[in-house]
Amino acid sequence: AVAFVQLNKKTEAIKALENGLRENRENWKMWENYLFIVIEEDYFAKAREAIQTIIYLGQHSRVKGSYLRATASIAFESPQKDRLIPQAEAMMKFVTSKVPQDPDFWDAYVDFVDALDDHSRLGELIELKEKECRARMIVGWEHDKKICEKLKESIRFLDELLKKDGCDEKQKQEGSLFIASATKKIEICLSN
């Protein structure tokens, strides 16, 4: 497969990896290599399968939020997007249910729902953004300025969502309390 990629024969590389995966479905590294190529070649179903298999194999750290975004982007840009977008959302739900502590997965899911541009899903979008923020607030986060900066960006986005028309009062109150608490912690982190 590597030789085919070097020769820019990606279709042949995909076939070689698929043959290898038929023999060894437990090889996460082969699945990861397969994922890179099928994303590059815009194969939505194959990318989704690779992501889900890597996670099933317990190698979730090998999957990045950018891979989820790229796979979802294939669905959005496809002529069959009406069929693929629900499948992309099912993938997002699967990944975040299996690995709820990864903030980049939640962030990719937020980007996905935001890209749908469906105002009736504002409450869900706010909830997803809060989950992303909570996932960033893991033990030790307050000693890592890079995580604090990313959390600050996420909090700013959440605050903007809460100000939109259609956000219910209970969610605004709960969200505002969360933002106030997180903002204090972020200020302490960034001042150290």
Query: Which pLDDT score, from 0 to 100, does residue 159 have?
Result: 94
Query: Which pLDDT score, from 0 to 100, does residue 118 have?
Result: 93
88 touches 72 (CB < 8 A) = yes
> From residue 184, how far is each of 141, 180, 192 by CA, in Å?
14, 6, 13
Model pTM greater than 0.85? yes
Q: How confident is the model at residue 139 (pLDDT cuts 50, 70, 90)?
A: low
Tokens standing for 19? 């043959």
**Distance of alpha carbon 98 from alpha carbon 95, whole angstroms:** 5
Query: Which pLDDT score, from 0 to 100, does residue 1 have?
Result: 67
